Chain A
Amino acid sequence: MPYNIIVLIKVIPDLEQIKPNPTTGEIVTERTPLRLETLSENAIEAAVQLKEKYGGKVFGLIFGKPESAPMLKKAFAMGVDDGIVLTGYKGNNPVYTAEVLCGKIKGMQYDLIISGNQSADTYTGLLPGIISGKLGINLLGNALTIALEDRKIRVKSTLEKKIQNLSATLPAIVSVTQETNQPRLPPVMQIMAAGRKQIVTEAAQPQTMPGTVQISNRAPRSERKRQLYEKPEEGIAAVARAIKEEIR
């Protein structure tokens, strides 16, 4: 049977291109190029694979900034059918993010929500859990495989040292890991079709952010000695000496 799947897509500043302000140490992200969070790509892939297997539709939901719009096009190219960009993201606050997302999701028909199990910019890993609580649906975390049957979902979930089989009734929320799948390279026809699609944006509700507020975000100072050893044997000896001194 066909399923309506919502995939939560996070857009983050490209971490490779983030630079701290050299005097204040404050992270400057204003002009940093944006990219799809890697785990969101896994989430999209998982959702599209389920659609291809069982039928249905995939809806992509981004909570970000207006500049996130091209990332939704990338999701379309990968096989997401429809989507929206909720604007007004004000920084890392999973409680607020969950509130905004759930506000939107409550008004939608859905069977399954899929997201990454965390994101590389904040690493809180809280969002799937909070959404599960706010919507009152089951959370099946760290899924390696996902199978659907009527109103049931079965998931092989990976924990640090074991794999467990979980099952729940739909609707549910599933979080995926990097091991879940290999995100596809979109075929050119789909890239071009996605390029022609209109992107719908909507201001996030509620507007005000509750709870904790980020006061500052500074990079730790690192003092590099910038010593270069051309010969491996000298370099290895120097590294060993440095580690020994540190242990002492």
Chain B
Amino acid sequence: MIYLSSVLLLIGLLVAAASFLYTLYSLFWNAVKIPEKKIRMKISLPRRIYILIRNVVLQGKLFKDPSGGIMHALMFWGFVAFAGYSATFFVRGIDPSYELISPGIFKDIIFLTVDIFAIVVIVDVIYAVSRRWILKIPRYQGYNGFEAAFILLLISVLMVTYYVLGVLRMDGASAGIPGAIMEGIPPAFTPVTGFFASLFPAASGSGAVDLYWVLYSIHAIDFLTFLVYIPTSKHLHLVAAPLNVLLSKDTKPAQLTPIDFENQKRFGASDIRDFSWKDYLDFYSCTECGRCTFNCPAFLTGKTLSPRDIIWDLREVVIAQGSRARHSGIEEKDKILTPVIGDPISEEDLWSCTTCMACVEQCPVMIDHVEKIVDMRRSLVLNQGKAPKETIETYTNMENYGSPWVNDPSTRGDWAKDLGINVLSETQNDDFDILYWVGCVASYDRRNQDIAKSIVSILKKANVKFAILGSEEKCTGDPAKRTGNEYLAQNLATANIETLNRHRVHRVITGCPHCFNSLKNDYRAMGLEMEVIHHTEFINQLVSLGKLDLKSLESDEKEKFTYHDSCYLGRYNKIYEEPRTIIKAVTDNYEEMEMNKSKALCCGAGGGRLWMNETVGTKISHKRMEMADKINATTVVTACPYCMVMLDDARRVMGKEEKMHITDIAEFVASRLN
């Protein structure tokens, strides 16, 4: 027998599903047809399944912001619980004779879960409304208020009508109506509905049946509206985000896609064809939640850079230009695909990024903002020769002197004169176990030379047979790479790899996290296999093996220590505990600053920013020093020469020289050797 309600529901479902699938097809076909950037991925299925369970099923990364995380997780789990109910609703509605889930305890438990989660979701909607419109959580303000309100309305109507339909069912109003669902579920398995039913007198008669049909219709239309609305709004993330998490990058953090200069014709990202399909999935997964922006050091100090806006702007360009570009020839495509740099993404914003990865770390759906920013910098530098004036000077210096500053490269090892160490450029004596890669800052900067000397004294104390390259060492290319000059970075890397191979180097220790990351990750991607250790790891090993014996200083009693995480050590290479273990081995007078470990605030120097002027807003390094001051720290320990330069300068400019010291972990250890 065919029922009118079934026919209407079927037509509604077909129309909504067609709209849903067509929009999705259009979006995902954009991601297949337009991108020209090629990326490689490993299958590594177990890891992907782990990440999927952790970050989608368990909503892991959302809890980096616990209050927002719990709100989203409850909503997500509620929706998962509701999925079985929704399927039953449509199947039974269209064919009342068909049971999608056979009656029994399994079905009863599913509906019990639905019954409980529906009220949880209602409470959660109230919580969400209060966060956005009453508590006015800053990161939501000004973004998609209408979309959020509309979707919360749809959700709450769905849940409320679910309960009212349930109450009417308990009153017997739906008895005998074909396609009514949840018939036969024991009242004990719908306790919340039962509770609501107990609050109201039982409805009966034709009025109750009419009310049932009205609510049934609203319930069905709500569902179908949701289906149509999802792919056209930020709720596209319901589809895109789980895929994005499953297909997240399997390389080391922030390893940039290499450029093949011999065979590629387009460098970096100028328009939307210069991104990869994975970047498109990133755009589609964004919900504008703003966690990235509200952890961005540039944004937090008054710059206009907002990683959220960069992703959302690119998404809008893809949606605006995508389908037209897909249906056009090459020449026409060149006209349709307009450059994204300038409008909507400003050059100033691209140069404000410190590549600190705080945005990437925070993003619950695993979007990589930093690679896109560097890709756009690459476009500016490699195609147009555009970069801040100071950066262009840095490139010239790196080319001429192998360091970002004007320094005679033959003096690179001068700091080590009289220390009696094996300087390979002078001795060519390859009899050493480990190479100490000094880096440009520690080689030439007066303050950082003290750190290099401390590392030497530690290595000597632990009887490590080591050498330095002296004038044969060049900048690793990190400042060039992160500012988009991949060409210069590759030239420097090639020269350094040749030197390292010539001296048969298999193990390297370095005091600079930027050199560390280049040697360990970027150079490995270029084929150089060697063990690369940061001095925090090495010192920690020496202490735990008993090769270094540390003592407390008398002054330690009066001090309060804190540790400032370097981004390239922490977020890039997950080294958080080693430096803390070393400090705590000596003193208990230790306190964390706000924003530490994976949430740490950058010093402002990464991504080539050490060599650029910071003229807009507050200086990032000053904000960090304020955080140290807030806990009354007397000594800030660092493990990065860039951080040392920035924080030491901030300390002087802010007049905190008397109050606070900045010391490297190597100096901290060297002054406490027994």
Q: Are A17 and B410 in contact (CB under 8 A)?
A: yes
**In the bound complex, what is the Cα–Cα distance between A35 and B406 (angstroms)?**
13
**In the bound complex, what is the Cα–Cα distance between A22 and B407 (angstroms)?**
20
Q: Are B261 and A35 in contact (CB under 8 A)?
A: no
Chain A residue at minimum C-beta to C-beta distance from B382: A188
Q: Which residues of the other chain, A, contact B261 by a CB distance below 8 angstroms?
A: 188, 192
A107 close to B (CB within 8 Å): no
* Nearest CB in chain B: distance from A196 CB, A: 11
- Given known A-B contacts A16-B407, A17-B409, A187 and B401 have beta carbons under 8 A apart: no
Q: Which residues of the other chain, A, contact B386 by a CB distance below 8 angstroms?
A: 185
Please indicate which of the listed interface residues A14, A19, A185, A191 has the most CB atoms of chain B within 10 Å of its own CB.
Answer: A185
Say what secondary structure dominates the interface of chain B.
Answer: helix
- Given known A-B contacts A16-B406, A17-B408, A182-B389, A189 and B383 have beta carbons under 8 A apart: yes
Mask: chain B, 372-396; 1 = CB below 8 Å from A; 0 = not: 0000000001111111010010010
**Interfacial residues of chain A within 3-22, with CB under 8 A of chain B in the complex:** 14, 16-17, 19
Q: Which residues of the other chain, B, contact A191 by a CB distance below 8 angstroms?
A: 487
Q: Are B383 and A185 in contact (CB under 8 A)?
A: no
**Interfacial residues of chain B within 619-640, with CB under 8 A of chain A in the complex:** none
Total A-B pairs, Cβ < 8 A: 36
B436 close to A (CB within 8 Å): no
- Given known A-B contacts A16-B401, A17-B410, A188 and B387 have beta carbons under 8 A apart: no
* Nearest CB in chain B: distance from A78 CB, A: 9
**In the bound complex, what is the Cα–Cα distance between A186 and B381 (angstroms)?**
9
**Interfacial residues of chain A within 184-219, with CB under 8 A of chain B in the complex:** 184-189, 191-192
Chain A contributes a number of interface residues (CB within 8 A of B) equal to 15
Q: Are B384 and A187 in contact (CB under 8 A)?
A: yes
* Nearest CB in chain B: distance from A50 CB, A: 17
Question: Which of B395, B400, B408 is A35 in contact with, Cβ under 8 Å?
Answer: B400
A2 close to B (CB within 8 Å): no
Q: Which residues of the other chain, B, contact A33 by a CB distance below 8 angstroms?
A: 400
**In the bound complex, what is the Cα–Cα distance between A184 and B393 (angstroms)?**
11
Question: Which of A14, A35, A185 is B387 in contact with, Cβ under 8 Å?
Answer: A185
Q: Which residues of the other chain, B, contact A14 by a CB distance below 8 angstroms?
A: 400
**In the bound complex, what is the Cα–Cα distance between A17 and B408 (angstroms)?**
5
* Nearest CB in chain B: distance from A124 CB, A: 24
* Nearest CB in chain A: distance from B409 CB, A: 7
Q: Are A185 and B389 in contact (CB under 8 A)?
A: no
B466 close to A (CB within 8 Å): no
**In the bound complex, what is the Cα–Cα distance between A18 and B385 (angstroms)?**
30
**In the bound complex, what is the Cα–Cα distance between A187 and B382 (angstroms)?**
5
* Nearest CB in chain A: distance from B299 CB, A: 28
Q: Are B385 and A184 in contact (CB under 8 A)?
A: yes
B437 close to A (CB within 8 Å): no
- Given known A-B contacts A33-B400, A191-B487, A16 and B408 have beta carbons under 8 A apart: yes
* Nearest CB in chain B: distance from A17 CB, A: 5
Q: Are A186 and B385 in contact (CB under 8 A)?
A: yes
**In the bound complex, what is the Cα–Cα distance between A16 and B400 (angstroms)?**
10
Q: Which residues of the other chain, B, contact A187 by a CB distance below 8 angstroms?
A: 382-385
Q: Which residues of the other chain, A, contact B383 by a CB distance below 8 angstroms?
A: 187-189
**In the bound complex, what is the Cα–Cα distance between A192 and B487 (angstroms)?**
10
Q: Which residues of the other chain, B, contact A182 by a CB distance below 8 angstroms?
A: 389, 392
Q: Which residues of the other chain, A, contact B406 by a CB distance below 8 angstroms?
A: 16
* Nearest CB in chain B: distance from A226 CB, A: 13
Chain B residue at minimum C-beta to C-beta distance from A190: B385
Please indicate which of the listed interface residues B382, B384, B385, B409 has the most CB atoms of chain A within 10 Å of its own CB.
Answer: B385
B267 close to A (CB within 8 Å): yes
**In the bound complex, what is the Cα–Cα distance between A188 and B389 (angstroms)?**
18
**In the bound complex, what is the Cα–Cα distance between A188 and B261 (angstroms)?**
8
Mask: chain A, 16-32; 1 = CB below 8 Å from B; 0 = not: 11010000000000000
Q: Are A185 and B401 in contact (CB under 8 A)?
A: no
Please indicate which of the listed interface residues A16, A182, A184 has the most CB atoms of chain B within 10 Å of its own CB.
Answer: A16
**Interfacial residues of chain B within 334-392, with CB under 8 A of chain A in the complex:** 381-387, 389, 392
Question: Which of A16, A17, A185 is B381 in contact with, Cβ under 8 Å?
Answer: A185
* Nearest CB in chain B: distance from A228 CB, A: 9
Please indicate which of the listed interface residues A19, A188, A191 has the most CB atoms of chain B within 10 Å of its own CB.
Answer: A188
**In the bound complex, what is the Cα–Cα distance between A187 and B261 (angstroms)?**
12
* Nearest CB in chain B: distance from A234 CB, A: 15
Mask: chain A, 146-158; 1 = CB below 8 Å from B; 0 = not: 0000000000000
* Nearest CB in chain B: distance from A223 CB, A: 19
**In the bound complex, what is the Cα–Cα distance between A189 and B406 (angstroms)?**
27
**In the bound complex, what is the Cα–Cα distance between A187 and B408 (angstroms)?**
27
**In the bound complex, what is the Cα–Cα distance between A214 and B35 (angstroms)?**
62
**In the bound complex, what is the Cα–Cα distance between A192 and B260 (angstroms)?**
12
**Interfacial residues of chain B within 281-329, with CB under 8 A of chain A in the complex:** none
Please indicate which of the listed interface residues B382, B407, B410 has the most CB atoms of chain A within 10 Å of its own CB.
Answer: B382
**In the bound complex, what is the Cα–Cα distance between A191 and B381 (angstroms)?**
12
Q: Are A185 and B385 in contact (CB under 8 A)?
A: yes
19 further interface pairs, Cβ-Cβ under 8 Å (given A185-B387, A189-B267): A14-B400, A16-B400, A16-B401, A16-B406, A16-B407, A17-B401, A17-B410, A33-B400, A35-B400, A184-B385, A185-B385, A185-B395, A187-B382, A187-B384, A188-B267, A188-B382, A188-B487, A191-B487, A192-B261
Q: Residues on A close to B: CB < 8 A?
A: 14, 16-17, 19, 33, 35, 182, 184-189, 191-192
Q: Residues on B close to A: CB < 8 A?
A: 261, 267, 381-387, 389, 392, 395, 400-401, 406-410, 487
28 A/B residue pairs, CB under 8 Å, sorted by A: A14-B400, A16-B406, A16-B407, A16-B408, A17-B401, A17-B408, A17-B409, A17-B410, A33-B400, A35-B400, A182-B389, A182-B392, A184-B385, A185-B381, A185-B385, A185-B387, A185-B392, A186-B385, A187-B382, A187-B383, A187-B384, A187-B385, A188-B382, A188-B383, A189-B267, A189-B383, A191-B487, A192-B261
Closest 5 pairs between A and B when the two form their complex, measured CB to CB: A185-B385, A188-B382, A184-B385, A188-B487, A17-B408
